[in-house]
Amino acid sequence: MASAESNPKTFSLEPYQVSEDFGFLLKEPLQELPPHYKPWMDIALHIPELVESHELRSQINKMPMLSCDFLQNEKELRLAHLVLSMMTMGYVWQEGEKDTVEKLPCNLAVPFWKVSQSLGLPPILTHADGVLANWSKKDPEGPFSIENLELLISLPGGDSVRGFFLVTLLVEVAAVPAIKNIPVVINGVRCGDTNAVARALENISQAIQDMTDALKLMHVYVEPSVFYGIIRIFLSGWKDNPSMPKGLIYEGVQKEPMEYSGGSAAQSSLLHCFDELLGIKHEESSSSFLNRMRDYMPPAHKQLIQDISHQPSLKSFVQQHNCEPLKQAYHLCVSKLLALRNYHITVVSRFITVPAARTRQLRKQSQDLEDETIAKAPIALEERGTGGSGIMNFLKTVRDHTKDAFIPETS
């Protein structure tokens, strides 16, 4: 793939499948595959009902083996990846954590593997599928708002699962002006234009504030007990997951089981870009997880993050220039990112830590848990995020290292 490095004069988003209008979102995703793939779509459009009636696995087992040769362009491949990944999550987790499967049948595994290879994505549901490529506008001219948006493919969890994916999409939408300003910062540093850099950093700060405001909608559209008890398991992977200690065999692809992490917004390229731009360094234990998440992004997006990291240091530029507005704009940006991470921690506490504590308490009191949505939650995930990390320590460490980017007064 062409990298912006090929033209060292100006850095642009163009080579990275990132646009000034849509950021990392797939622009106007296709809603239908070619007719050849009707058997996939017939199942994928009914995953919640088929899981509820315990029929998804049997329907998938009966599906014909379809060739991938009729998928002709990036958008068709992205929709195919979304469809196959959602079916895979439903297949694996249909019966919860107690009755998982050892293998994915070849009529699902083989095409999923091939489509994944073509896109450079792993054969599991990623943020790039569930969020970036999973939307349509009811009124194409209307705004990006929950009311005007619809998911293409869904999972069990009703309105809350819709809210979860769409609010995350709105965080991506809120970030678009920030993404647009990243090349402005880089080019400004390259040519020593402190005013341009300061202005672009102010724009990025505003967009990060808007991301935090969008994240607040999670509390409006997602019910914590539904997230904790139902949605989370369908986002879970088969790496470091005690419910699937051996991983998953992709039948017809490879005899040995394979391990992949579950879907997480840690796979969103946004904060990775901001960290690289602002010079935020994470300690080994956190960065190994965050770096692994980059393998779950479309390769062009991963390349953008890497290329940002190879640019002349913004932080050194700010330190070298005795320019108060520039320094203030840089500090504002770091503060907004810190506030976003702090707010995200409160979201995680409300959607995971609190329901986990309540479930433990109910179990201890040996209460009848049958009617409690949260009691359906997988025990193996109690202390873990969907990506498989020990969550609160991890998130607080990442947050604390964001603070290290502040430039001390004396320097």
Q: Report d(CA 381, CA 243) in Å as an integer.
A: 9
CB 215 within 8 A of CB 347: yes
**Toward ligand HEM, which CB reaches closer, 104 or 173?**
173
208 is a site residue for ligand HEM (CB under 6 A): no
392 is a site residue for ligand HEM (CB under 6 A): no
Q: Contact region for ligand HEM (CB under 6 A) — 35-43, 50-58, 340-348, 366-374? A: 340-348
| Minimum gap (Å) between residue 88 Cβ and ligand HEM | 18
| Minimum gap (Å) between residue 380 Cβ and ligand HEM | 13
Q: Report d(CA 390, CA 68) in Å as an integer.
A: 38
Scan residues 251-280 and list those touching ligand HEM (CB under 6 A). Answer: 264-266, 268, 270-271
Q: Contact region for ligand HEM (CB under 6 A) — 101-109, 112-120, 301-309, 386-394? A: 386-394
Shortest CA distance to 352 belongs to which of 225, 235, 239?
225
The answer to whether 127 is annotated as binding is no
398 is a site residue for ligand HEM (CB under 6 A): yes
Q: Report d(CA 234, CA 47) in Å as an integer.
A: 11
386 is a site residue for ligand HEM (CB under 6 A): yes
CA distances from residue 135 to 44, 167, 177, 224, 276 in whole angstroms, order as listed:
15, 11, 20, 23, 28
Q: Contact region for ligand HEM (CB under 6 A) — 66-74, 182-190, 215-223, 361-369? A: 215-223
- Which residues 6+ apart lie within 8 Å of 403 measured at CB? 334, 338
385 is a site residue for ligand HEM (CB under 6 A): yes
Amino acid 153 reads: I
CA distances from residue 245 to 95, 125, 258 in whole angstroms, order as listed:
17, 19, 11
352 is a site residue for ligand HEM (CB under 6 A): yes
218 is a site residue for ligand HEM (CB under 6 A): yes
| Minimum gap (Å) between residue 290 Cβ and ligand HEM | 6
Shortest CA distance to 243 belongs to which of 96, 54, 41?
96
Count of residues that bind ligand HEM according to CB under 6 A: 28
Q: Which residues of 212-249 are buried (b: 16+ CB within 10 A; e: fewer)?
A: bebbebbeebbbbbbbbbbbbbbbbbbbebebbeebbb
168 is a site residue for ligand HEM (CB under 6 A): yes
Q: Among 171, 198, 201, 405, which residue interacts with ligand HEM (rule: CB under 6 A)?
A: 171
Question: What DSSP letter does each residue of 145-189 carry, written as one string?
Answer: -GGGEEESS--SSHHHHHHHHHHHHHHHHHTHHHHHHHHHHHHHH
326 is a site residue for ligand HEM (CB under 6 A): no
347 is a site residue for ligand HEM (CB under 6 A): yes
Q: Which residues contribute to the annotated binding site? A: 344
- Contacts with ligand HEM, residue ranges (CB under 6 A): 164, 168, 171, 215, 218, 222, 227, 264-266, 268, 270-271, 341, 344, 347-348, 351-352, 385-389, 391, 394-395, 398
